[in-house]
Amino acid sequence: MAAGDMRPVAAVDGRGSLLAVVALCVRYLPVLIMLAVWELVGRSGLVSQQMLPGIGAIAAAFLDLLQSGELVVNAWRSLSRAATGLGLAVLVGMTVGLLMATRPLVRTLINPLVRILYPMPKSALIPLVMIWFGLGDVSKIFLIFLGCLLPVIVSAYNGARGVNPFIVWSATSLGASKEQVLREIILPAALPDILAGCRTALAFSFILMVSSEFVIAKDGLGFLIGSLGDGGNYPAMFAVILTVAGTGFVADRLFGSFVSHRLRWKEQA
């Protein structure tokens, strides 16, 4: 391939960073095309500027929100809720999933609940959760926790069930106890599956963060989208929506590079 041939040359004459930028542009070309189409449709008058504000208007609104501090404050509120809910879900989900895989009693008790709860849309619980926990942070964190919990449980359970039994036998014949097998063998062996489940949960946490803040919140990005929309400030509303998308994208990429670092033992195969 041409790109392969060019890389070493670029490294020598210092054009490496330029090439990296070009590669990045090529990779995200579809996004650029979408933005261009967006702008053209807006200008052509096919759709009113109200419904689909131009990229320039959105960018201006974004800068305004950034300068006023509104965006940062609300993003911080939202992300701390998402992180708390997700973090709790990972801890609890991993434990429950591993225990389900290794303790038949736990499996019998919890498996039916997991199967029923997984496909249920968690946002349908918003009114109920509001009654239980009120309008504060707890209700939103609980919803995010619940939504993120199930993919983590299921992935930990499947991962642990799929562990090569000979690896477990090797560990026991080297003197590992039942607890040690669970913590030192089954957990790391199931980690690729668990981390894939966590990545799904990460996306769920963003979705639930915004949708719960729509309904029950006095701050946060979801609240901001709702109130800007209600006030008819569509450029600003789009700016916040795109901020959520961008933040979610960055979070996913960061998590992805954490995963490939953590699972570097897999890659050389």
Q: Which lies closer to other proteins via its Cβ, residue 50 or residue 257?
A: 257
CA distance 52 to 54: 6
180 binds other proteins (CB under 8 A): yes
Check if the beta carbon of residue 101 is closer than 8 Å to that of residue 93.
no
173 counts as binding other proteins under rule CB under 8 A: yes
Give the whole-angstrom CA distance, residue 92 versus residue 240. 31
Out of 52, 79, 176, 241, the only residue in the binding site for other proteins (CB under 8 A) is: 176
Interface residue with other proteins among 76, 132, 249, 265 (CB under 8 A) is: 265
Nearer Cβ to other proteins (44/173): 173
Residues 153 to 172 in contact with other proteins, rule: CB under 8 A = 164, 166-167, 169-172
Q: For residue 28, what are its two tokens?
A: 């995200």
Q: Using CA atoms, how far apart are residues 162 and 249, in angstroms rounded to an integer?
A: 30
Nearer to other proteins, 163 or 224 (CB): 163
Name the one range near other proteins by CB under 8 A: 102-110, 152-160, 188-196, 208-216: 188-196
CA 184 – CA 204 distance, rounded (Å): 29
- Contact characters 224-263, other proteins, x per CB under 8 A: ---------------------------------------x
CA dihedral over 159, 160, 165, 171, signed as positive or negative: positive
Length, in residues, of the chain: 269
Tokens standing for residue 63: 């800068």
Please provide residue 204's backbone torsions phi and psi, each rounded to the nearest 5 degrees.
Answer: -60, -40
State the minimum distance, in angstroms, from the CB of residue 177 to other proteins. 8
Which parts of this chain interact with other proteins (CB under 8 A)? 164, 166-167, 169-176, 180, 185, 188-189, 191, 263-269
